[in-house]
Amino acid sequence: MLIIFKELTKQFEQSLLDSLEKNDKKGEFEILRKNLITQSSKEEFGDYQCNVCLSLSKIFKKNPRDISNDFINLLKKNKSIAKLCKSLEIAGPGFINIKLKDEVLINEIISNIQCNRAGIPLIRKDLDRGLSNKVIVDFSSPNIAKEMHVGHLRSTIIGDSISRIFELRGYEVLRLNHVGDWGTQFGMLITQLKDLYSNDLEEIGKIKISDLVEFYKESKKRFDNESEFQKRSREEVVKLQSGDIKSIKAWKLLCDQSRQEFDEIYKNLKIKIEERGESFYNPFLKSVIDDLNLKKILVEDQGAKCVFLDGMTNKEGKPLPLIIQKKDGGFNYATTDLAAIRYRFNKPPNGDDASRIIYVTDHGQANHFAGVFQVAKKAKWIPENCQVDHVPFGLVQGIDGKKLKTREGETIRLKDLLNEAVRRAKEDLLKRLEDEDRYENEEFIANTSRIIGFGAVKYADLSQNRITNYQFSFDKMLSLNGNTAPYLLYTLVRILGIKRKNDFVYDSKDFQYVNYENKSEWKLIRKLLKFDEVIISIEKDLMPNRLCNYLFELCQTFNRFYDQVPILKEEKNIKISRLNLCDLTAKTLKLSLELLGIETLERM
Interface with ligand ARG (CB under 6 A)? 138, 141-143, 178, 180, 337, 340, 359, 361
CB closer to ligand ARG, 353 vs 583 = 353
The minimum distance between CB 426 and ligand ARG, in angstroms, equals: 32
Distance in angstroms (rounded) separating the CA atoms of residues 598 and 604: 14
Residue 277: partners with Cβ closer than 8 Å, 6 or more residues away = 144, 177, 178, 179, 180, 181, 182, 255
CA distance 2 to 261: 43
| DSSP category for residue 410 | P
Task: Yes or no: say if 75 and 88 are a contact pair by the CB < 8 Å rule.
Answer: yes
Using the minimum distance from each CB to ligand ARG, give the nearer residue, 142 or 486: 142
How far apart are alpha carbons 87 and 98 in whole angstroms?
Answer: 6
CB of 415 vs ligand ARG, minimal distance in Å: 18
Nearest distance, CB of residue 365 and ligand ARG, angstroms: 6
Looking at the Cβ atoms of 340 and 579, the one nearer to ligand ARG is 340
**For ligand ARG, which is the closer residue by CB, 5 or 373?**
373
Residue (372 or 589) nearer to ligand ARG, CB: 372
Q: What element of type H or E holds 157? A: helix 150-169
* Cα–Cα distance measured from residue 583 to residue 591, given in angstroms and rounded to the nearest whole number: 12
Query: What secondary structure letter does DSSP report for 314?
Result: -
Which residue's CB is nearer to ligand ARG, number 71 or number 182? Answer: 182
Q: How far is CA 205 from CA 202, 209, 526, in A?
A: 6, 11, 62
Nearer to ligand ARG, 357 or 525 (CB): 357
Q: Which of 286, 210, 207 is nearest to 246 (CA)?
A: 207
Q: Residue 295 CB, nearest distance to ligand ARG (Å)?
A: 22
Paired strand residues for 85: 100
Number of residues that this document lists for the chain: 604
Cα distances (angstroms) measured from residue 159 to each of 78, 108, 354, 439, 442: 44, 32, 17, 38, 33
The nearer residue to ligand ARG, 185 or 361, going by C-beta atoms, is: 361
Give which of 411, 318, 333 is closest to 365, Cα–Cα. Answer: 333
Among the listed residues 16, 30, 117, 115, the one whose alpha carbon sits nearest the alpha carbon of residue 74: 16
DSSP symbol at 403: B
Q: Give the span between the Cα atoms of 112 and 544, in whole angstroms.
A: 22
Closest to ligand ARG by CB, 11 vs 141, is 141
Q: Least distance in Å: CB of 461 to ligand ARG?
A: 17
**Of 176 and 495, which CB lies nearer to ligand ARG in the complex structure?**
176
Least distance CB 326 / ligand ARG (angstroms): 18
- Shortest spacing between CB 373 and ligand ARG, in angstroms: 11
Q: Please, what is the angle between helix 2-22 and helix 531-541, to 10°?
A: 70
d(CA 371, CA 354): 20
Beta-sheet strand order (sheet of 319-325): 299-301, 304-313, 319-325
State which residue, 121 or 392, has the beta carbon closest to ligand ARG.
Answer: 392
In angstroms, rounded to a whole number, what is the distance separating the alpha carbons of residues 343 and 354?
Answer: 9
- What Å distances lie between residue 188 and 142, 194, 212, 217, CA to CA? 19, 10, 13, 11
Q: Which is nearer to ligand ARG, 4 or 339 (CB)?
A: 339
CB nearer to ligand ARG: pick between 361 and 585: 361
Q: Kindly state the smallest distance separating residue 180's Cβ from ligand ARG, in Å.
A: 4
SS3 447: helix
- Pick from 481, 489, 497: which is nearest to 458 by CA? 489
Min dist. Cβ of residue 60 to ligand ARG (A): 51
Nearest approach, Cβ of residue 152 and ligand ARG (Å): 6
Residue whose C-alpha is closest to residue 602's, from 484, 493, 446, 509: 493
Asked if residue 150 lies in contact with residue 414, where contact means CB atoms within 8 angstroms, the answer is yes
Q: Which CB atom, from 359 or from 550, has the smaller least distance to ligand ARG? A: 359
Q: How far is the CB of 269 from ligand ARG (least distance, A)?
A: 17
Q: CB of 182: closest distance to ligand ARG in angstroms? A: 10
In the complex, what is the shortest distance from the CB of residue 377 to ligand ARG, in angstroms, rounded to a whole number?
Answer: 16
180 vs 371, beta carbon nearer ligand ARG:
180
How big is the CA angle at 98 (ends 111 and 18), to the nearest 5 degrees? 105
Which residue, judged by CB position, is nearest to ligand ARG in the bound state? 141
Task: State in angstroms the smallest separation of the CB of 252 from ligand ARG.
Answer: 19
Q: How far is the CB of 409 from ligand ARG (least distance, A)?
A: 23
Give dist(CA 90, CA 68) in Å, integer: 7
